[in-house]
Amino acid sequence: MSKTSPAQFIQEVRQEATKVTWPTRKETGISTAMVFVFVILAAIFFFIVDQILQFGVKLIFGLGG
């Protein structure tokens, strides 16, 4: 592998950076909203699973009712 000078490295980094396509404000907003929706859905799912397991453990060990 050949050595690159720091100046050439910085030039190549700048060239690659110009190829990056950044998301628009709308795309970022939609993605953020989707993350929040899926986090809420996952929280509800795990809450329900936790309640079912808690009920099963109580039923097995007779610790409440």
Q: 8-63, pLDDT tens digit by residue?
A: 999 999 999 999 999 999 999 999 999 999 999 999 999 999 999 999 998 988 87
| Statement: residue 64 has pLDDT above 80 | no
Measured distance CA(27)–CA(13) in Å, rounded? 26
> What are the CA-CA distances from residue 62 to residues 45, 48, 54, 65 (Å)?
25, 20, 11, 7
Contacts of 58 (CB under 8 A, 6+ apart): 64, 65
Inter-residue contact 12 to 6 (CB < 8 Å): no
> What does the pLDDT read at residue 25?
97
Residue where the block lists tokens 């100046």: 7
> What does the pLDDT read at residue 4?
82
